[in-house]
Amino acid sequence: MNEEKIQSLKVPAHIAIIMDGNGRWAKKRGMPRTFGHSQGAKVVEQILEDADHIGVKYLTVYAFSTENWSRPQTEVKALMNLLRRYMKTSLAKCAKNNVRVRVIGDKSMLDQDLQDSIADLERDTAANTGIGFQIAINYGGRDEIVRAVRRAAEKGLLNDPGRIDESLLNDCLDTAGIPDPDLLIRTCGEQRISNFLLWQLAYSEMYFTDKSWPEFDREELLKAIDAFNHRERRYGGLIH
């Protein structure tokens, strides 16, 4: 896409991505699925940088779902090790690029050392003012809503049913304070949500591509943003 065209695009403030197809991409090349995950991890770093340069304010990526524990132990372990490595090595880069990291999902089920690294990274990037980068780990949309309700109950916010409203629940979600995604991208052909951001995607535009995640790049991101520019968001209203 040429520079002039890129400059003319309206950039979505928040992009969410279901990074799918690592395993299929690797298998097609006669490699183990875990090779696809390592490749996928590199792509995340690049896309974060690209999204930031393009002007995206929030990027949320689905790294591990509440359902992904049902995969073979070896694959789960490889994915956790990749996440471990990311949490440890990305601080310098986040500091340099002014990235603010938040992990969404139920962290309490992760190994303690991983929980500690996540807490370190979140704390050390909390004051950064650049792009907000949310990584969904042990994340499920339904689970998040259940935990939000639990959190609200613990704070005594559910005692008066008449005062329960969307903003109350919104503030108890893992994504509290972050605007809903404008655009959801899912790679590698599948056209489903797979329990991602069920609450937050209420009015997001959906973009599906056959490209697998390891093949996804800046040009593909721009294509998705271009498609977003051709959508008409009505929010249930009428366009006059």
Q: Which residues bind Mg ion (CB under 5 A)?
A: 20
Helices then strands (H, E): number in the chain?
8, 6
Question: Of these partners, Mg ion, ligand IPE, none, which one is at the site of residue 19 (CB under 5 to 8 Å by kind)?
Answer: ligand IPE
- DSSP per position, 13-43: SEEEEE---HHHHHHHTT--HHHHHHHHHHH
Contact 20, 208 (CB under 8 A): no
Question: Of these partners, Mg ion, ligand IPE, none, which one is at the site of residue 173 (CB under 5 to 8 Å by kind)?
Answer: none
CB of 22 or CB of 172, closer to ligand IPE: 22
Single out the residue of 117, 114, 23, 109 nearest to residue 66, CA to CA.
109
137 strand-pairing partners: 64
Question: Of these partners, Mg ion, ligand IPE, none, which one is at the site of residue 90 (CB under 5 to 8 Å by kind)?
Answer: none
C-beta neighbour count of 119 within 10 angstroms: 13
Question: Of these partners, ligand IPE, Mg ion, none, which one is at the site of residue 194 (CB under 5 to 8 Å by kind)?
Answer: ligand IPE
CB of 130 or CB of 189, closer to ligand IPE: 189
Residues in contact with ligand IPE by CB under 6 A are 18-24, 62-65, 68, 79, 188, 190, 192, 194
In whole angstroms, give the CA distance from residue 78 to residue 221: 27
Q: How far is the CB of 75 from ligand IPE (least distance, A)?
A: 8
In whole angstroms, give the CA distance from residue 178 to residue 140: 17
Q: Kindly list the catalytic residues.
A: 20, 68
Q: How far is the CB of 136 from ligand IPE (least distance, A)?
A: 7
Question: Of these partners, ligand IPE, Mg ion, none, which one is at the site of residue 132 (CB under 5 to 8 Å by kind)?
Answer: none
Q: How far is the CB of 81 from ligand IPE (least distance, A)?
A: 13
Q: How far is the CB of 127 from Mg ion (least distance, A)?
A: 35
Residue labelled with tokens 């969404």: 104
C-beta neighbour count of 106 within 10 angstroms: 16
Report the alpha-carbon angle 107-213-220, nearest 5: 125
Report the residue number whose CB is nearest to Mg ion. Answer: 20
CB of 36 or CB of 132, closer to Mg ion: 36
Q: How far is the CB of 101 from ligand IPE (least distance, A)?
A: 17
